[in-house]
Structure 1
Amino acid sequence: MVRFSLETGLRQANVTGLQWTQVDLVRRCAWIHPDQAKARRAISVPLSKTAVVILREQMGKHETKVFTYSGKPITQVNTKAWRQALSRAGIDNFRWYDLRHTWASWHVQAGTPLHVLQELGG
């Protein structure tokens, strides 16, 4: 989920709530419905090659939800496992939302125009 968030810039709730009906691997895109978006507007999400690979790794694990753990949909990310992973990596004071900031920073560094980044980020 961390890798997927870094690839797409999606918010935590959009990643944990992502359903297979919102994904088109052939066209390499996903979409967030207006009722799931902070701005209440639908968001089209282009999927990088890495994001597609991540999604393919999740196929068959759950009928409707994309991201699961032991066959059950993941609903919470601030878990003991998340905090332990941050600790092992020597990372302090890091929130899930910081992944979105990293995604945006990478885009700016790569030359993505700010108005395009704004659209991509919903």
Structure 2
Amino acid sequence: MAVLDRGGVREGQPFILSGDGSYDLQLNCFRRELGVRAENSVLGYARDVMLFIRFLGASRYGKPIWACDADDLRAYKRVRLSCGGPDAVSAGTWNRSVAALDKWVAWSLDAGLLRRSP
């Protein structure tokens, strides 16, 4: 039997924190409702969203993901693809990140959490 916390996270299951480090109920609803069954895929989507949240916090003056815009996404792409060092990613990894963010945007629009797509 799986043990659930009040936020619906089973013991040992990954979850997403907001930029301030608190449990983000909406982001974790997104994670649960992804419709992705493979554990590695769930982890990948959660990681991609969390990396974007960290970027917004560190490089976009702590902007919450719910307020991101196209400028934030362009800046994130620039950093991830061309910064060099351990944080740079391949085009394939970037495409997977974009797929995760696209799923988050579609879900957020459908849930009424975003008014328009960034």
Q: TM over 0.5, yes or no?
A: no
- Structure with greater strand share of residues: 1
- Structure with greater helix share of residues: 2
TM-score by length of 1: 0.31
